Amino acid sequence: MSNQYVSRVVETVKKRYPGEAEFHQAVAEVLESLTPVIEKNKVIEELGILERITEPERQIIFRVPWVDDAGKVQVNRGLRVQYNSALGPYKGGIRFHPSVNTSIIKFLGFEQIFKNSLTGLMMGGGKGGADFDPKGKSDNEVMRFCQSFMTELYRHIDADTDVPAGDIGVGGREIGFMFGQYKRIKNIFHGVLTGKGLLYGGSLARTEATGYGTVYFCNEMLKDRQSCIEGKKVVISGSGNVAIYATEKAMSLGAKVVALSDSSGYIYDAEGIKLDLVKRLKEIERKRISEYVKEVKSAKYTEGCSGIWTIPCDIALPCATQNELDGNSAQTLVKNGCIAVAEGANMPSTPDAVKVFLDAKISFGPGKAANAGGVATSGLEMAQNSQRLSWTFDEVDAKLHQIMVNIHATAKNAAEEYNTPGNLVNGANIAGFLKVANTMMLHGV
């Protein structure tokens, strides 16, 4: 780390929040790539922008008590980090996963600031969640949990204040229960959440948006190599919302997706994943991905999720979770001829892995750029709710596509302007940061 101001702020964050490894990782990654910007614009240091941007505007931690089907009282911890509101209401998903803690929610909220800035829409950054595990819970248990979660959260959010959405463990079912409880408590029907059901104000194409957007972004990177996704072999990790719709879009553009995973293991289907079966298993029956091989005899299931990166492919789309792809896996991908990696998940590649991809000069799209289509379409849902209108699927999809093309161009241009051509990590961080930082300067300290 060459810049003293950057080093000082990174050290302050580490000291103030000891033990928050994911948060430290995200802050260091963004700030280090801002070095040329900070050296060129002394006012950033003079006005303490890095100190301010790394400290959340507000953090809410709350008890979430609920009663399980056996009548036993359960308690989880709920969180909402309202990180930065320079560009608009706080905006970002809610994650329900047993691993959720302040480090994970802060890293996600911090990334969200720059991602939302890159979309070009007016959205600040935030994130929330709970250490609740929806797996194995009945619909009634999930409902009681979501109601209890919203019984505290409702007082901190509003359509023009903070607009949560889904993330890991939070999909249409959970958003519905949370929306119902918000409406009941506040007696207001408005767009306080996105990713809503289509019957009550959700946007067409929001379900598909993150996965579709990741593939649109990947295709833009491939164009720069005089290539495209058609005919390519693709490996996608995860089998949740992002992975499923990345698979759908990649296949519709003529690629062959040969592998998917969950946290227990991965499936390999040399003939191409049967997506209808995956949708039934995951979206309707909520089963494990291993069930796939019971119905497709030619496919193979392997225990352990990291082995998925040993499958030779042209394109890898990590769409599961943070730090799921390490330096060794990255080397294996490069050695096997992989030419492009686009992150559907948030921070799925470790810093070592990112370095391997950048050094090998393969196309690498960092999450805050490549997966921004989800939150961008949430922004479009907010716009439709404000207008009390719904746009068609094709209208929303066309806007999503254009936003992904723009994000790619913005990141690429910033990388060139700051003398690291082709480095979309630097480009996305710099472009996302500058819009927020310049706005913070206009708003005063």
Catalytic residues: 127
Q: Which does 333 bind (CB under 5 to 8 A by kind): ligand 2IT, ligand NDP, none?
A: none
Q: Provide the minimum distance between the beta carbon of 15 and ligand NDP in the complex, in angstroms, as a whole number.
A: 27
Give the nearer residue to ligand NDP in terms of CB position, either 119 or 151.
119
- Taking residue 378's Cβ as centre, other Cβ atoms within 10 Å add up to 30
Q: What residues numbered 309-368 form the site for ligand 2IT, per CB under 6 A? A: 346
Query: In this structure, are residues 221 and 342 in contact, taking their beta carbons and an 8 Å threshold?
Result: yes
The contacts of residue 149 (CB under 8 Å, 6+ apart) are: 64, 78, 130, 132, 178
Least separation in angstroms between CB 278 and ligand NDP: 10
Residue among 49, 76, 85, 91 that touches ligand 2IT (CB under 6 A) = 91
Residue 58 forms beta bridges with which residues? 82
Least Å distance, CB 392 to ligand 2IT, is 20
Q: Of 45 and 167, which has the nearer Cβ to ligand NDP?
A: 167
User: How far apart, in Å, do the first and last CA atoms of the chain sit?
Assistant: 27
203-222 binders of ligand 2IT (CB under 6 A): none
* Alpha carbon distance 80, 58 (integer Å): 8
CA dihedral 127, 128, 129, 130 (to 10 degrees): 140
Q: Which CB, 191 or 427, lies closer to ligand 2IT? A: 191
Residue 233 CA to residue 236 CA, distance in Å, equals 10
> 259 contacts which partner out of ligand NDP, ligand 2IT, none, CB within 5 to 8 A by kind?
none
Q: Which does 368 bind (CB under 5 to 8 A by kind): ligand NDP, ligand 2IT, none?
A: none
Pairing of strands 233-237, 73-84: unpaired
Q: What is the DSSP string of 254-292?
A: T-EEEEEE-SSEEEE-TT---HHHHHIIIIIS---GGGH
When asked if residue 125 is in the footprint of ligand 2IT (CB under 6 A), the reply is no
* Contact of residue 194 among ligand 2IT, ligand NDP, none (CB under 5-8 Å per partner type): ligand 2IT
Select the binding partner of residue 92 from ligand 2IT, ligand NDP, none (C-beta < 5 to 8 A, by kind).
ligand 2IT
Backbone phi, psi, residue 417, to 5°? -60, -35
248 forms part of the interface with ligand 2IT (CB under 6 A): no
* Residues contributing to the site for ligand NDP (CB under 6 A): 97, 166-169, 210, 238-243, 262-264, 305, 319-321, 324, 344-346, 371, 374
DSSP H/E element including 438: helix 424-443
* Minimum separation from the CB atom of position 253 to ligand NDP (A): 20
* Burial of 293 (C-beta count, 10 Å sphere; 0-12/13-18/19+): middle
- Which one of residues 117, 194, 214, 350 is an interface residue with ligand 2IT (CB under 6 A)? 194
C-beta separation of 397 from 205 below 8 A: yes
Give residue number: closest CB to ligand 2IT. 93
Residue 39 burial class via C-beta count within 10 angstroms: exposed 0-12, middle 13-18, buried 19 and up: middle
CB of 319 to ligand NDP, least distance (A): 6
- If binding is defined by CB under 6 A, does position 375 make contact with ligand 2IT? yes
Is-contact 176 197, C-beta < 8 A? yes
To the nearest whole angstrom, how small is the minimum distance from the Cβ of residue 374 to ligand NDP? 3
Residue 37 · residue 28 · CB < 8 Å = no
Please, what is the minimum distance in Å from the beta carbon of residue 241 to ligand NDP? 4
Distance, in Å, from the CA atom of 256 to the CA atom of 117, rounded to the nearest integer, reads 33
**Is residue 191 within the footprint of ligand 2IT (CB under 6 A)?**
no
Task: Rule CB under 6 A: say whether 374 interacts with ligand 2IT.
Answer: yes
Q: Which is nearer to ligand 2IT, 64 or 165 (CB)?
A: 165
- Least separation in angstroms between residue 250's CB and ligand NDP is 15
Binding site partner of 91, from ligand NDP, ligand 2IT, none, Cβ cut-off 5-8 A by kind = ligand 2IT
Sole window of 42-50, 52-60, 88-96, 314-322 interacting with ligand 2IT (rule: CB under 6 A):
88-96
Q: Residue 169's closest CA among 247, 121, 100?
A: 100
When the beta carbons of 321 and 349 are compared against ligand NDP, the nearer one is 321
DSSP percent split of the chain into helix, strand, coil, nearest 5:
50, 15, 30
Cα 313–Cα 316–Cα 320 angle in degrees, nearest 5: 135
Shortest-Cβ-distance residue relative to ligand NDP: 240
Residues found near ligand 2IT in the complex (CB under 6 A)? 91-93, 115, 165, 167, 194, 346, 374-375, 378
